[in-house]
Amino acid sequence: RLADMQGLKRGRLRIAMVTTAKYLVPRLLGEFCSRHPGIEASLTVTNREKLLARLAANEDDLVILGKPPSELDVVATPIADNPLVVLARHDHPLAGRNAIPPERIAAEPFVLREPGSGTRLAAEDFFAARGCRLKVRMELGSNEAIKQAIVGGLGISVLSRHTLALEGDAGPLRPLDVAGFPLMRQWHVAYPAGKHLSAVASAFIAHLLANRSGTAAPAPQVAAVVTGPVPAAA
Ligand code: PGA
């Protein structure tokens, strides 16, 4: 216990997260670090595919990702909702229309995330399930760059609604009302099953759980992806 307390006084915390989580996790990490000023934290931001490789190689204390991988044995706990929406410029002809059919959306030029992105995968799966192939006008490896490309008139995209966190409805982008959207996803905090968690990592999980939001908020985990016990706070 003494070692644990010393761990919380000093300690390191190495986290990797998917790009969409950068609209949520840094703020929570900031709060955590101001409560524990001796902790040295590092945060790697990458896409789903690269994150899964890091998770398989056990390179981080914790990872934050969307859908937990079925191919890896991990402990994963939901922390917040991540709704994906179709984003367009505010003056797009489809803005203001209700229940737009996905087929109509698929006829528009798209600015998509890079292959390996979980956001892209979810968007492609949705349209493929309806027999639609997206017209990819441009691929960009950054949510913010895609927002700028939409403003620049290059097309529409599917992104996390959280990408609008700072500007909200006052900005130049609008979610379109597309039938079947938002695609409801969640972010999870995860680590390899059987991993020994440091005191700092356990305390940060407790902080994330104390700040859970959306459908991730109810205390008992019903998401059925948890393959091991959630560590208690140190
Ligand atoms: P991405 O991740 O950064 O790979 O698009 C988002 C997700 O998997 O939810």
State the complex-level ipTM. 0.94
Among 48, 85, 146, say which to mutate for ligand 1: greatest number of ligand atoms within 8 Å of CB. Answer: 48
* Residue with the two structure tokens 């706990």: 77
- pLDDT attached to residue 227: 52
Confidence check: pLDDT of 233 > 60: no
Closest approach atom of ligand 1 to CA 118: 8
CA 162, 165, 167, 168 torsion: positive or negative? positive
Confidence check: pLDDT of 10 > 80: yes
CB 21 near ligand 1, within 6 Å: no
- Each residue of 142-156: pLDDT tens digit? 999 999 999 999 999
Among 17, 20, 50, 113, say which to mutate for ligand 1: greatest number of ligand atoms within 8 Å of CB. Answer: 20
Distance 3 CA to ligand 1 centre (A): 36
CB 66 near ligand 1, within 6 Å: yes
- pLDDT attached to residue 129: 97
- Each residue of 43-102: pLDDT tens digit? 999 999 999 999 999 999 999 999 999 999 999 999 999 999 999 999 999 999 999 999
Confidence tier at 234 by pLDDT (50, 70, 90): very low
For residue 109, list its beta bridge partners: 135
Range from 3-7, 17-21, 126-130 carrying the lowest mean pLDDT: 3-7
Instruction: Please spell the DSSP secondary structure of 14-25, one letter per residue.
Output: EEEEEGGGGGTH
- Stretch 202-229: mean pLDDT: 74
- Where residue 7 falls (left for φ over 0; alpha for ψ -120 to 50; beta otherwise) is alpha
Give CA 143 to chain center in angstroms.
11
d(CA 39, CA 35): 9
Confidence tier at 167 by pLDDT (50, 70, 90): confident
- Per the CB < 8 A criterion, the answer to whether 230 and 205 are in contact is yes
Q: Of the candidates 171, 231, 188, which has an alpha carbon nearest to the alpha carbon of residue 15?
A: 188
- Stretch 5-26: mean pLDDT: 88
CB 20 near ligand 1, within 6 Å: yes
- Per the CB < 8 A criterion, the answer to whether 118 and 46 are in contact is no
Closest approach atom of ligand 1 to CA 49: 4
Distance 7 CA to ligand 1 centre (A): 31
- pLDDT attached to residue 169: 76
What pTM does this model have?
0.85
% of the chain surpassing 70 pLDDT? 90
Percentage helix, strand, coil for the chain under 3-state DSSP, each rounded to 5? 35, 30, 35
Tokens of 154: 């290059």
Closest approach atom of ligand 1 to CA 82: 9
Question: What does the mean pLDDT of the chain come to?
Answer: 91
